[in-house]
Structure 1
């Protein structure tokens, strides 16, 4: 399932580039594409028993948005969601180091600081905002869907879960 709609050039001209590497674009994305976000939540709800993998190129941008929506729908506090998001920078730094790339976290934080905000402030404002639940409802997450999502994630039968396995990329981290 692909979250982004690259054909919406108006949106991406405004919110692409460095904006889409920050929570700065999350409210606009939720307003423009609530159905896409809720389709991912529905896919998690309806997945076969076992784990569900959510990923993007960096593991913090689109992944961060989906995990934010998932955790908020489950009732996790904005502060805990912001703490979880901050961990993505640690993983990103490790990923960049392993690939011999520069970590872009300092640039992202400087970009946000120049706009008078932080990742934590943006996430807290979004999750605690009065319209967050309305954004998910606009995407089709009704009370029944929310109850099903909570049942899937919080009360899932873990006996049928398959163990996680590490997938190695040839040429990157061994044979």
Structure 2
């Protein structure tokens, strides 16, 4: 079963992470997590659709200088700078283009664990209801959080890859909606320089994403760990 596209007036790269196949043959639950791009163009009708979908919390993963727009008063907004300003980390990644691909994910988790920890803690603390998390394109930073959440429920590599590739499929519609490029050709060119396709890059990263080990060593609370590994209580906790 594939993921569930969410039709929202003002979004072109939104999807519910439910319906993705797990290693045990079950699927991820709907109505827990929604990923998306920038929300500036969401119309009142779009916000009504998000409310109908159960969204009660929005987590903005962008840098402070990117922040724009807002959310309705009845939706909680949490801002988390997932990138951070650690130039020693970002300069080489920006120089070789990995920032626009999954190829930086594992390094980010290893070198900037506090950034991911903060985002996961925000997810854990969110009030009851679905959580929508987003960045600018809903592609890279949003993709890192999505990969972690999918790995937490042992979503198969093929299913997680299909979710990642959906952003490529949606890129043309995003360009039309937001009136800017999302650099699809550049992304492919950078991946080629690193010896990858979009498919092979994501597979390589996702297959090596050892979330259990990261959770054991990261500075996160038991409540956060439990919220992530049970998708906020939507699935039973795994036996120790």
Flag the structure with more relative contact order, 1 or 2, with Cα contacts below 8 A and sequence separation at least 6.
1
Q: Does 1:48 align with 2:127?
A: yes
The equivalent residue for 2:150 is 71
Distance 2:198 2:222 in 1: 29
1:32–1:79 Cα change, 3 Å: same
User: 3-state SS of the aligned residue for 1:64?
Assistant: helix
The equivalent residue for 1:29 is 108
Q: Deviation per CA, 1:103-140: give whole Å up to 9, x if none.
A: 41122112101221123223222222274432343323
Distance 1:119 1:42 in 2: 29
User: 3-state SS of the aligned residue for 1:124?
Assistant: helix
Query: Which of the numbers 60, 63, 67 marks the counterpart of 2:139?
Result: 60
CA contact (8 A) 2:175 2:181 kept: yes
Q: Deviation per CA, 1:55-92: give whole Å up to 9, x if none.
A: 11111010000111111112211221111011122333
Worse-superposed segment, 69-78 or 100-109: 100-109
1:94–1:137 Cα change, 3 Å: farther
Q: Which has the higher strand share?
A: 2
1:91–1:130 Cα change, 3 Å: closer
1:35–1:62 Cα change, 3 Å: same
Distance 1:151 1:59 in 2: 20
1:144 Cα shift? 6.1
1:134–1:115 Cα change, 3 Å: same
1:32 Cα shift? 1.0
TM-score, normalization: structure 1? 0.76
The equivalent residue for 1:80 is 159
Q: Which runs of 5+ in 2 are unaligned?
A: 1-79
Q: Which has the higher helix share?
A: 1
Q: Which runs of 4+ in 1 moved over 6 A?
A: none
**How many residue pairs end up in the alignment?**
155
Distance 2:221 2:161 in 1: 25
- 1:164-175 to 2 correspondence within 5 Å? none
Q: Does 1:154 align with 2:154?
A: no
User: 3-state SS of the aligned residue for 1:54?
Assistant: strand
1:144–1:58 Cα change, 3 Å: same
Worse-superposed segment, 28-37 or 127-136: 127-136
The equivalent residue for 2:197 is 118
**C-alpha RMSD over aligned residues:** 2.4
Worse-superposed segment, 34-43 or 20-29: 34-43
Distance 1:116 1:105 in 2: 17
